[in-house]
Structure 1
Amino acid sequence: MTTTCEIPATSVDRLVSSQFVRLLVMVFGSGLSMYLLTSVVPLYLAAHGSGGVGAGASTAAMMFSAVAVELVVPRMLARWGYQVVLGLGLVLLGAPSLVLLASASLPLVLAVCVVRGAGLAILVVGAVALVAEITPAVRRGEALGVYGVAVGVPAVIGLPLGVYLTQVIGFGALFVLAAATSLAGLVALVGLPGRIAVEDQHVHVLGGVRRSGLLMPTLVFAAVTLGAGISVTFLPLAVAGDKQSMVAAALLLQAIAAPLARWLAGRYADRLGPARLLAPAVVLAAAGAGSLVSCRVRPRS
């Protein structure tokens, strides 16, 4: 009679580890830094005379910078490792917020947005890649769902709180707070992996998109992200000043829905396959964006 010694699945496929917790803490701090200023920088520009053009330019500068830098992050990870690259991302996202204390000049603010966009790109790509490295493959979808919650909770807090705090502590103190929340994440890097071998096909991002069937999901993600960026940028400017509480409530509801949807998508993607979730997600995103067209708001003077 022979017995087979089996390792319990919980010990092999355990989702939450100390490294994963550290990563989530870092993601939370950097996300809070980003979302505190997402709707505030357009308000800051509008308050100093740059209007809707400056507001749109600030968001566009950050997003275009993020997209451009994302293409080179895999090479950075392969060369310098996760700790160095993620640390750089935290500094680039947080420290430039302090520069906004000096001036509301549109060129200066746009330069800050470009640098912060580079930091955002590093953190997004690096953190997602690290999630895949430090969590079990059989639970990777769920792990990414948990990561999505850690990214989304700062939006729940930061989007409405940033708009509210401009009336309470002012722009300057808020810029300092945004810098501090990102830079504090440097402490969480201790204990995370250093350099991990990155396969060649993951380094060549553009080639990977063309050859691996990622082009259409990438275009879908870009379209949905564009719609979300427009809403959080211009909603505070489109609503009259005496209704900013309504703006904060709308941003709060959007921010709450996002992490819940990410978590559910992660769980069901492991069971049903992610492709089946794309169509209903696109329909929901289009319906939400279309509903804003019917909203009657009075432009800010």
Structure 2
Amino acid sequence: MTTACEVPTLTAPTAPRLLTGQFGRLLFTVFGSALSMYLLTSVVPLYLAASGSGGIGAGLSTGAMMLSAVGVELLVPRMIARWGYQVVLGLGLILLGAPSLVLLVTASLPLVLAVCIVRGAGLAILVVGAVALIAEVTPARRRGEAFGIYGVVVGLPAAISLPLGVYLTSVIGFDALFVFAAVASLVGLIALGGMPRQPSVEEQHVKVLGGLRGSGLLMPTFVFAAVTVAAGISITFLPLAVAEDKQSLVAAALLMQAITAPGARWLAGRFGDRVGPAKLLPAALILAALGAGALILVGSAVAIVVGSTLFGIGFGAAQNLTLSLMYNRVPKSRYGQVSALWNLAYDGGWGVGAIVFGFVVAGTGYSLAFGLTAVVVAAAIVPAVQSLRNRT
């Protein structure tokens, strides 16, 4: 009982716990599947080239996997609604991991491409399902930070495994790598038991491209696609735009981009939870546009490294902010749709950007083509600012 001179103690509400057992199991699964995916991203093309399929086979392997992923991403929300998270994620882990073992017995181009297609389907299931499940098992007040942690867990295998896979081919050989990639994905099956079986809302919106008008999802989807266009272009064409005797410079620039993106993704999530992701999105796009624009000076070492660093920061932040913004605008019944849309923007922007840029650069040269890429990213700032004025 308080007296007249006593002042009641006011306690600030504690932040809801973020790292739960379910979230931890999901991160374990995500890390293993990302390790499996990125280890073989650069190794399978080398395997085909070493087996006589040449550059055409190498290019087809990557293209087959990504096109398969884009196609299957449209189906994942319906799969989750019908079979639940545990079954669908388990299927994704098997499709991503098990086909790697087929490569132990064949280097035939048609069979390797079939493996890539199946693994692409597994990848699509995992990225869409994992993002939707994060929104389910983490508190809404800390969702941006949760997506940031997810970005770090996915980004570390990308930064480590792409160069490591190529190096290990000369140390332990292709066969050992194929087995390791399979195990890295399949081991995630042991963590599925503690995850939710079904979405928390029974009635799910399963049409990925349906009901978008007035949903608030179109702006962040197209804005993010504009940034991923530049991401696909920088990783694909920067090594070709720089002289052969400066490839170490390209490696350093891409490493800076790979390192800064996950960190920016996490920081954007932490601050986005506090002030709202819409308020930070224009700044992220400005950094990405400046980074892409710096590549106009493709002959300058400083411009390449600084530009890649700025772009990595902007790209990582935009990943988190667009995803958080989309989830903030929909009910739980649309969580699967948001995850599928966002991943379609990621993979589609990446692929389309690389294809179109290849035709543009043939007629303009690299400097002007990189400049046009920066214009695409800069144009996305306008709808982001307009959306901030209209709604947050």
Q: TM-score, normalised by structure 1?
A: 0.83
Moved more, 25-34 or 100-109: 100-109
Deviation at 1:230, TM superposition (A): 5.8
Deviation at 1:170, TM superposition (A): 1.4
CA distance in 1, matches of 2:109, 2:116: 10
Q: Residue 14 of structure 1: SS of its match in structure 2?
A: coil
Question: Unmatched 5+ residue regions in structure 1?
Answer: 297-301
CA distance in 1, matches of 2:91, 2:291: 33
Partner residue of 1:217? 220
1:280 aligns with 2:283: no
CA distance in 2, matches of 1:288, 1:119: 36
CA distance in 2, matches of 1:174, 1:294: 37
Moved more, 101-110 or 182-191: 101-110
Residue 183 (structure 1) aligned to one of 159, 183, 186: 186
CA distance in 1, matches of 2:29, 2:98: 15
CA distance in 2, matches of 1:175, 1:5: 60
CA distance in 2, matches of 1:101, 1:238: 35
Residue 255 (structure 1) aligned to one of 253, 258, 263: 258
1:127 aligns with 2:130: yes
Deviation at 1:7, TM superposition (A): 9.3
Going from structure 1 to structure 2, the CA distance change for 1:189 and 1:235 (only over 3 Å counts) comes to farther
Contact 2:95-2:122 at 8 Å conserved across structures? yes
Contact 1:82-1:126 at 8 Å conserved across structures? yes
Going from structure 1 to structure 2, the CA distance change for 1:267 and 1:210 (only over 3 Å counts) comes to same
Query: What letter matches 1:118 in structure 2?
Result: A
Partner residue of 2:78? 75
Contact 1:29-1:182 at 8 Å conserved across structures? yes
Query: What letter matches 2:46 in structure 1?
Result: L
CA distance in 1, matches of 2:233, 2:52: 20
Deviation at 1:140, TM superposition (A): 0.7
Contact 1:23-1:127 at 8 Å conserved across structures? yes
Going from structure 1 to structure 2, the CA distance change for 1:109 and 1:45 (only over 3 Å counts) comes to same
Deviation at 1:235, TM superposition (A): 7.7
CA distance in 1, matches of 2:63, 2:155: 21
Going from structure 1 to structure 2, the CA distance change for 1:25 and 1:103 (only over 3 Å counts) comes to same
Going from structure 1 to structure 2, the CA distance change for 1:294 and 1:162 (only over 3 Å counts) comes to farther
Q: Residue 55 of structure 1: SS of its match in structure 2?
A: helix
Q: Residue 168 of structure 1: SS of its match in structure 2?
A: coil
Aligned residues: 295
Deviation at 1:219, TM superposition (A): 3.4
Deviation at 1:232, TM superposition (A): 5.4
Question: Unmatched 5+ residue regions in structure 2?
Answer: 3-7, 305-392
Contact 1:55-1:234 at 8 Å conserved across structures? no
CA distance in 2, matches of 1:240, 1:186: 45
Q: Residue 170 of structure 2: SS of its match in structure 1?
A: helix
CA deviation map 1:105-146 (0-9, x unaligned): 222222111111111111111111111111111111111111
Deviation at 1:182, TM superposition (A): 0.2
Moved more, 180-189 or 257-266: 257-266
Partner residue of 1:266? 269
Contact 2:241-2:298 at 8 Å conserved across structures? no
Share of identical aligned residues, percent? 72
Moved more, 265-274 or 132-141: 265-274
Partner residue of 1:24? 27
Deviation at 1:153, TM superposition (A): 1.4
- Superposition pairs of residues 132-281 of structure 1, within 5 angstroms: 132-198=135-201, 202-225=205-228, 227-229=230-232, 252-275=255-278, 276-277=280-281, 278-280=284-286
Moved more, 225-234 or 95-104: 225-234
CA distance in 1, matches of 2:130, 2:84: 12
CA deviation map 1:26-75 (0-9, x unaligned): 10100100111112122222222333322222222111111111111111
Partner residue of 2:119? 116
Moved more, 81-90 or 286-295: 286-295
Deviation at 1:286, TM superposition (A): 2.5
CA distance in 2, matches of 1:32, 1:233: 20
Query: What letter matches 1:194 in structure 2?
Result: R
Pick the structure with greater CA Rg: 2
